[in-house]
Chain A
Amino acid sequence: QLQVQESGPELVKPSESLSLTCTVSGGSINSVGYYWGWIRQPPGKGLEWIASIFYSGDTYYNSSLKSRVTISIDRSKNQFSLKLKSVTAADTAVYFCATYGGSSEFFHHWGQGTLVTVSS
């Protein structure tokens, strides 16, 4: 059974970078047709798609965050990562990793989410 799990620091200072990793287990990050993505949810608010990376390495970004975001794959570790630069309090959110695609077009496996707080 495919599982994804987020990891990374829970507290980041303003103006610094937020880095999160999603570890994939029970399946391969090289699975054909799969997208690996990051979605966030500020406290009490809705879901916001941040970025996705295709199994081939093609990357896709939310235009409102594109200038600050990088998504990448580490095939040797079966992981994918998110880096968000120059964070502010507005970036405080629960960050989810999830997988999309393959045989069905939806986000079908989600991590439990990790709360990242931006504060000095």
Chain B
Amino acid sequence: NFMLTQPHSVSESPGKTVTISCTRTSGSIATNYVQWYQQRPGSSPTAVIYEDDQRPSGVPDRFSGSIDTSSNSASLKISGLKTEDEADYYCQSYDSSIWVFGGGTKLTVL
């Protein structure tokens, strides 16, 4: 089985850009799609990126996703940060009939 490793926390100012990484510990990041979920306190997670770089309907284009095979990682980039983006973000992937979530990254917008 593989794991997905995320930074515990990141912080940035409103209007700036932040990137959250998600590193796959074994196997290739390109083998299976990576998804990103946003979870605000007291709420269920909602997807902001799916299939590496696709945005679900209603998610602003300030959110973008990518993968980098050289670092075996995926990234979520949020540009033009707003205070409402403050939340926990989880990456997720799938392999060999198991689903794996990263440990989550707390984004603070201050």
Contact = CB atoms under 8 A, between A and B. Distances in A.
Given A106-B35, A106-B50, A107-B92, A47 B56 contact: no
Interface stretch (A10-18, A69-77, A110-118): A110-118
Nearest to B52: A105
A104 B50 contact: yes
Interface residues of B, number: 25
Contact of B56 (A39, A108, A111): A108
A49 B100 contact: yes
Given A46-B104, A52-B99, A63-B1, A105 B47 contact: no
Interface of B, helix, strand, loop or mixed by DSSP: strand
A107 B98 contact: no
A113 B44 contact: yes
Interface string A33-76: 00001010000001111001000000010110000000000000
Contact of B104 (A47, A63, A108, A111): A47
A110 B39 CA distance: 11
Contacts of B47: 106-108
Contacts of B39: 47
Nearest to B35: A106
Interface residues of A, number: 21
A107 B37 contact: yes
Interface string A77-120: 00000000000000000001000100011111011110000000
B103 A107 contact: no
Given A46-B102, A110-B45, 10 more contacts: A46-B101, A46-B104, A47-B92, A47-B101, A104-B51, A105-B51, A107-B37, A107-B45, A108-B47, A111-B44
